[in-house]
Each structure stands twice: as C-alpha cells, then as structure tokens.
Structure 1
Amino acid sequence: MALRPNPTLRQRRLGTELRRMREQADLGGSQLARMLGISPGQMTQMETAKIGVSPERLRTVASACNCANGPLIDALARVAAERGKGWWEEYRGILTTDFLEVAELEAHATRLTFCNTTYMPGLFQTSAYAAAVFARIFPPLSPQEVDTRTAFRIRRQEIVRSGSTPVRAFIHEAALRMQFGGPTVLVNQLGALLGDSERPGISVRAVPFAVDTFPGAGENLCFAEGSVPELDTIEMDVSQGALFFDSPADLAKHRAIFSRLDSTALSGEESREFIRSIMKEMEAANA
C-alpha cells in the first residue's frame, strides 16, 4: 500500500484519535499491533495517517482498546469511510496547505464559533476588506496572489450563505474599528456584517472596549464543533498561517473561554446598534 505523501487534516485527526484510544487503554504500539495481527510499522502508519484505516479495522481497534464510547466510534468510522474530495483540493499546489485545512475544518463542522480581536472573521469579510487584509502581509504578495487568496476566502463564505452550519462570532471593538483598506472599505464591511447578523443561524456579538475583562488571549480563534465533542477543534490564526489544537485540555479551556464571552458580550440587537454607531462615527469623520 502506497503511503500518503500529504494526509489531510481529517485523516491526521483520525490517526490522532486512534493513538489516543490506544494510550487510554495503556497499550504500546507494538502490543496493539500484535493483537491486531499487523506490524508495528503499520500501526505507526495508521496513527500518523500515512495509510488509511477502514471502518471495520477502526472498530476492531476500538474493541481491542476496550473503548465503549459508541458515538465517538461511529463518528470516527464515518471519517474512515470518507472518499470524496472537497472543493478546496482545486487549490492544492496554488495555496499553502493551511488555507485548505481551514476550509476542510469549516466544511465538516456542526457549528463554528469565532473570537476576533484584530480583523473580521474570514467568513464575513467583503472582497475589498479581504483583499486589504492580504495586501498588508509582509513581505508583500503579488496582485495575483492577493486575488487568489481573496477568491478562496469568498468561496469559503458559501457555508454562511447556505445556512447549513450555525455560526457565532464574538468580535472585539478593536476588530470593528481596524481600518483595512481605509474608512470606506470599513463602513461597507460593517454594513455587510450587519446584513449577515440578520441571517438565520448566524449570531454576531460585539465586545466593546468598555467591557471590564476580555476572557482568553488576544488571538483570532475559531472553535469548530465536530459531530461529537471529542472531535471539536480549535484553529488559531497566526502570522505564519493556521495552528490547530485538539487535546482534551485545550478544548476544555476554550469552551470555558467562549462561555465567558457569551456572558460578557453585547446581545445580538445591542451588537447591531453598537456596529451602527461605529458606522455613523466613521461616516461623520470622513464626510
């Protein structure tokens, strides 16, 4: 069996969950391999997603590890059975892998929650705003690279427009005021954000400077909920790209962070009024 040169995010997560299952059973890789009748090398390749695992083999592993979490096993079996490719694969070799993995994560999530302190969540950005965000990268991108990244980001927004996946966004006032592309671009972006906030399945919550505390760190985050809680994933935007976290400790920490945000952010209607006030302020300042 040929080894996968570039396992996808979902394939790697499946391997990670197999390893966690084995470790929770206090089994070594060689020990579990003997129980399954495979080589230790094959066991390692399964856990690193270098080779695939069938739903039947996955259930055999779960049984050998005495895993009794039926919903998790069923969810992992569905991942193991996946064979199709997503639309983002068209961009493989054109964009860096982290772009593709963010789209893959969003496409399979059952709910998305964003926390943004620097710029608008990508799923709500207008074309002009997104292009301005990419244009500020250093060293500068070529116009063609900016256009490609912008087009990819806009295509990702189909998940919002379709209403198939519930989306929550906690957006700090700093992100609401940051002028990527200038005041006109920002005013149009805020207007588009207001429109999105009225869509079914979308919640936009503002966090003003006046809030006494801002829970969590200052990174731009996405919490993507899986089909079961064990398959939730955190994605963090950094200057080098995207980082992904899925350890139980990280997931518990960020669930608590978003719970605190939910209790401190403005309500949906209060947030719309707050965003409108910023728009009016920007329009008056640049009249």
Structure 2
Amino acid sequence: MRERAGLTAREAGELLNVNAARISSIEAGRFGVSADRVRVFAHSYGCSDEPYIEALAAMTAGRGRHWWDEYREALPSGLLDLAELEHHATAIRTAQVAHIPGLFQIVGYARPIFRQSIPKLSPPEIEHRVTHRIKRQGILFAANPVPYTAIIHEAALRMRFGGRDVTREQLEHVIEMSELDHVTVLAIAYEAGIFPGAGQTVLYAEGPVPPLDTVQLDAEHGSVFLHADLQLEKYRTFMTRFEAVALKESASRDLIHKIVNDL
C-alpha cells in the first residue's frame, strides 16, 4: 500500500506519526499491528479496497500458537510457513509432475523422499519432516476442510518411491482422497503431450481476497513464496492452463486405477 501511494518509509512515518524504523519493522513482520492500525494505514495510504482492508484487519486476530510451532527448532522456517499458509488458505490448488502432493502422501512414500535430501538428513531430522508432512494433512479432515484441487501428471503417478507395494498403497490412498467432496484429483496423461510449466511444482493458496493469494514453489534450497500482483496473475493463468490439459475427474480416477492394476 505504501509503495503504491508513492511514499518512502520516512514519509509514511511522518504521516502516521511514527519513525521510519517502526514502519520498516511492521512491514517486515517484526512488530504486530492492531486491526484499527491497519485501517489507519490503509486510509493514510489512500487504499479504498474495503474487502482487502478488512481481510488484512481480520488477520491481526487469532495469531496464537499452532501445531507447527512445535517444529520451530527442528525444521526450516519455509516448512513452517507452508503449514501456516495452508492452514489459513480458503482454497488450494497444486500442480505436481514428479511427486504425489504432500497433502496426499503416506508415511512409506514420504520417508524415501526425505532420505534423498542434500545434504543428507539424520534419522531424527527425517522423522521430523515426515510427521510434519502428515500433520499438514489435517486441513483436509477439519470440520470445515479447505477445498483442494490436485493436478498430477502420470509421471508422478508411476514413480515407485518406496517400491511396488508402497506405490500401490499410495495410489489407492489418492483414489480414496479423490472421493471426498472437497477434494478434486485431475491427472495429466502422457498422451497429453506438452503442458505449461513442465517440471515445475506449484501450490496456489487462495486468501480471503485475491490480493492475499500466495504461490509456493519447491526448490532445492527450500520453499519460495510469491505474492506480487503480476506473479499471482501469471500463476493463476498457469493453473488454469494446467487444469485444461488434464483428464476429467472420472477419467483421472480410471487412469490411477489402471496404474494400480499394472503394478
């Protein structure tokens, strides 16, 4: 908001009667703000998008401890941020080419993935990551579960992480999850040919209003989070095009059944 208003941190501080250092600390998330202060900032910056302002104001409440805080000393901050992002999302879409989505993974499938991490993880570090991944899945079983769409390439469905038996169990779990009312599973068959973003893993988490959407990308050095307007617009288009080349839900389920039968 400040940047769109064309104000420096110093100018904003003078306008709001606080010093520039405090403005920078608030923007960096080092200091909390009240709902009223959010509204004052928005008014001072000339923002008139009321749904956006009220969504930001609502985020100032209920920010106490959550289950992922138990892992604060054991896991990289990016994994904690991902759990928090999913927890607060109003809807989630993911596109996967090489892996089954983390919110679907069973223990036997997740553990071999973490064993391949570079640098090598110790057994306790592996188990911390596995249990964290399984606990993230709680959002799909909550009283008001988040709507979740998973677009999975056939290559990911055929990867045998953990061996034949684990792969069969994993795919049967994906089929079971696909039958939940709030879960949509779409498969992209090899026959689809080229598709947008080949090789890239994307998670698109919708906020209460579009400006609060966030994109999470997986990288070897950890999670990357994107939230700039142009980035969000690009990945909205990406997800729409990715979904367009996927099979319909029933045909996707049939493909997964076929792969299970081939094991």
- Higher deviation after alignment, 131-140 or 265-274: 131-140
Aligned residue in 2 for 1:270: 251
Alignment of 1:1-287 (within 5 A): 21-162=1-142, 164-282=145-263
Cα separation, 1, equivalents of 2:162 and 2:117: 13
Verify the 8 A CA contact 2:88 2:207 in the aligned structure 1: yes
- Secondary structure of 1:105's counterpart equals helix
Cα separation, 2, equivalents of 1:70 and 1:138:
45
- 1:183/1:164 CA distance change after superposition, 3 Å: same
CA distance in 2, matches of 1:152, 1:41: 36
Deviation at 1:32, TM superposition (A): 1.4
Cα offset, 1:23, TM superposition:
1.2
SS at match of 2:59: helix
Partner of 1:6: none
Counterpart secondary structure, 1:68? coil
SS at match of 1:154: helix
SS at match of 1:112: strand
Distance (Å, rounded) in 1 between the aligned partners of 2:102 and 2:111? 11
Please, what TM-score do these two structures have when normalized by structure 2?
A: 0.96
The residue type paired with residue 100 of structure 1 is L
Calculate the TM-score normalised by the size of structure 1.
Answer: 0.88
RCO (CA 8 Å, sep 6+): is it higher in 1 or 2?
Answer: 2
Letter in 2 for 1:91: Y
CA RMSD, aligned part only?
Answer: 1.2
Deviation at 1:217, TM superposition (A): 4.2
8 Å CA contact retained: 2:97, 2:198:
no
Further displaced range: 195-204 or 79-88: 79-88
Please report how far the alpha carbon of residue 265 of structure 1 lies from its aligned counterpart in structure 2 after TM superposition: 0.4
Equivalent in the alignment of 1:8: none
CA drift at 1:108: 0.2
Structure 2 regions of 5+ residues with no counterpart?
none
Amino acid at match of 1:103: A
Q: Distance in 2 between the 1:89 and 1:281 partners?
A: 42
Which amino acid in 2 is paired with 1:213?
I
Alpha-carbon spacing, 1:263–1:83, altered in 2? closer, same or farther (3 Å)? closer
Which 5+ residue runs of structure 1 have no aligned equivalent? 1-20, 283-287
Output the CA distance in 1 between the equivalents of 2:183 and 2:120.
33
Structure ranking higher in helix proportion: 1
Deviations 1:83-142 (A, max 9, x none): 312110011101111111110000000001010011111000011001111112233322
Question: Residue deviations 1:28-56, cap 9 Å, x none?
Answer: 22111111111111111111122122111
Q: Once the two structures are superposed, what CA deviation does each residue of 1:141-190 show, in whole Å capped at 9, x if it has no partner? A: 22222222111111111111235100000001111111111111111100
